[in-house]
Structure 1
Amino acid sequence: MPRLMAFDYGTKRIGIAVTDPLQIIATGLETVHPKDVIDYVKKYLLAEPVERFVVGEPKQMDGTESQSAQHVRGFVTLLKKNFPAIPVDMADERFTSKMASAAMLAGGLKKSDRKNKALVDTVSAVIILQTYMETRKF
């Protein structure tokens, strides 16, 4: 079974996570610079099949788009252009950074590791993907 791949998009870093082949567990892969993400995904797809992309959708507390939504839309367009056979779903990403920091704290990571923004972005991508898997309908 192909994997799912999730992205926590940011203008400086993109956290990436994938599922296992049975789509049960989400695991952090990497944090890459936005200019490198398409090449990274192309290389990954040479080794592993991916059936769907999941991109974190930035929203305000009231459900409206946040300021970064336009950047995320551009990223989704880029994914669709480069990988037209792979569908893209959006998933609410509100609170994922706070949840990632809390998970890292609960996991016993040192304060210096918890301040590592790249690690926070990767863990956020895992949370986006895990939440997506829990809420999707089969």
Structure 2
Amino acid sequence: MARILSIDFGKKRTGIAITDELQIIASGLTTVETKVLLPFLKDYFAKENVERVVIGEPKRLNNEPSEVVPILNEFIKKFRIEFPEMPVERMDERFTSKMAFQTMIDSGLKKKQRQNKALVDEIAATIILQDYLNKL
């Protein structure tokens, strides 16, 4: 089997998580600057066998798209041009950042460590991916 990769897309930073090859566990991979996301993915896909990408769908509480959606849609267009064979699925990502922050608290991370927004993005991507796996 191949891995599944998830993306918690942001204007500045993007959190990335990946499954194991058996697609049982989601683990945080890294956080990259959004402007270098496509080159990062190209390099990663060349090294690892990834069968699909799950991208967090940013929505407001009233189910309206958030302000980042137009930028995300533009990224997805570029992604599909760069990787036409790679399936892309979207998952509701509401509350994942709050859940990620709570996970950091529950893990006993100190206040200074919890201020690391890159870590929050990586954990949010992990939550998106684990939610996806739970629905399979």
The interval holding the TM-score normalised by the smaller chain is over 0.9
Secondary structure in structure 2 of the residue aligned to 1:126: helix
Summarize deviations over 1:2-24 as a string: whole Å, max 9, x none: 10000000010000000000000
Which blocks of at least 5 consecutive residues in structure 2 are unaligned? Answer: none
Cα RMSD (Å) of the superposition? Answer: 0.8
User: Contact 1:55–1:76 (CA<8 Å) still a contact in 2?
Assistant: no
User: Contact 2:5–2:129 (CA<8 Å) still a contact in 1?
Assistant: yes
Structure-2-length-normalised TM-score: 0.97
Q: Percent identity?
A: 48
Name the residue aligned to 2:8. 8
Shift of 1:85: 0.7
Summarize deviations over 1:51-83 as a string: whole Å, max 9, x none: 000000011112121111111111111211111
**Dislocated runs of 4+, deviation >4 Å:** none
CA distance in 2 between partners of 1:79 and 1:17 (Å) = 17
Structure-1-length-normalised TM-score: 0.95
Which blocks of at least 5 consecutive residues in structure 1 are unaligned? Answer: none
Amino acid at match of 2:93: E
Name the residue aligned to 1:121. 121
Query: Are positions 1:62 and 2:62 aligned together?
Result: yes
User: Contact 2:12–2:35 (CA<8 Å) still a contact in 1?
Assistant: no
Shift of 1:39: 1.2
CA distance in 2 between partners of 1:68 and 1:37 (Å) = 16
User: Contact 1:7–1:55 (CA<8 Å) still a contact in 2?
Assistant: yes
The farther-off stretch of 73-82 and 116-125 is 73-82
Secondary structure in structure 2 of the residue aligned to 1:72: helix
